[in-house]
Amino acid sequence: MAETRVKGIRTRLAGLPDAVWKILACPMCLAWPLNEGAEEASCNQCGAVYPLTDSGQLDMRLRGVKTYSVPFTVGDDPTGLDMPPIERLPAARKPQLPYQNVELPWRLAYGNRLTPEMLSYFPRLEAGGALLDLGCGSDVFRPAAAYTNLEYVGVDYDGKTPRILADAHSLPFRDHSFDFVMSFAVLEHVQYPFVVLREVGRVMKPGARFVGTVAFMEPFHKNSFYHMTHLGAYSLLASGGLEVEHIEPNASWSGLRAIAELGLFPRMPRALTRIIVMPIELLHRLWWKLGHRMRGSAGSDDIARQMLTTAGFRFVCKKP
């Protein structure tokens, strides 16, 4: 068995600690535990082999075609969804982290990503546990995850940084493995998001939260499949068996700004892009304020404006 010791903690293949090996399962058949060799992990039940990459990552991506069935109930009135009101995301009533004292680097807060209010929903478990960063990229959210006292498990489909490479459509973990899941600006990039949400719900422990963001009026980028309205985001999240607690339009990341930065003027300095779009944004907000005063309807207030023109939505969910 390949293992080392880092700061007194036994680590195994791909530098993964025991706590992560205990929850790893074969993504093809979900059997566990996996056999650990010198250069790969393997499954006793289906015979799938998961090798180390040249970068030393454990490649847990599917080793064949897998059929996944997701049942849908049709015939209901889609406008009668039992979803929470669209509003600004309030801080958690009883936050477990000193979120107000945490300074978020720009890479964590830029665009459709993390905010202090979202951080207030991160747990802090003294007994430990595991946290899943779905679509972790270069692990930029690992510092924020460190406040939780949970074992950070970052997965992505490719890249050099993640310790585990995996397909979000078939996560290589046992049922009820994670105390918390986060995923920022990822769900629009998966081919079958309803399958992914079934997987997210499967690997979450009862009572665990899922916090993240999804794109709406961002332009096509990095092979994005589905950019979602608030209704689409709610329908998707609820399909995973999750209780959707909050959905918030991103007020600081407007569709106009996203289209300018990601589509109209790519690679232009952000400060210059903001100067270009600022007059239009100011005129847009002024027009909506005038319309709200004249009509006095809820459909013309600022939250309604953000819902129609935001580049993305933030969400907080809980598994019952």
Confidence of residue 128 (pLDDT cuts 50, 70, 90): confident
Per-residue pLDDT, 311: 98
Confidence of residue 80 (pLDDT cuts 50, 70, 90): low
Burial class (CB in 10 A: 0-12, 13-18, 19+), 267: exposed
Beta carbons of 114 and 183 less than 8 angstroms apart: no
Query: What is the rounded distance in angstroms from the CA atom of residue 249 to the CA atom of residue 253?
Result: 9
Q: Which helix (H) or strand (E) holds 71?
A: none
At 181-234, the pLDDT tens digits run 999 999 999 999 999 999 999 999 999 999 999 999 999 999 999 999 999 999
Per-residue pLDDT, 297: 62
Look at residue 2 and tell me whether its pLDDT is greater than 50.
no
Look at residue 86 and tell me whether its pLDDT is greater than 60.
yes
At 130-168, the pLDDT tens digits run 999 999 999 999 999 999 999 999 999 999 999 999 999
- Average pLDDT over every residue of 69-93: 83
Q: Which two tokens stand for residue 280?
A: 């239009």
Query: What is the rounded distance in angstroms from the CA atom of residue 274 to the CA atom of residue 257?
Result: 7
Q: Where are the domains of the chain?
A: 4-56, 85-250+311-318, 256-304
Look at residue 308 and tell me whether its pLDDT is greater than 70.
yes
Q: CATH class for domain 85-250+311-318? A: alpha beta
Look at residue 5 and tell me whether its pLDDT is greater than 50.
no
- Average pLDDT over every residue of 91-95: 95
Q: Which two tokens stand for residue 131?
A: 């946290």
Query: What is the rounded distance in angstroms from the CA atom of residue 217 to the CA atom of residue 223?
Result: 15
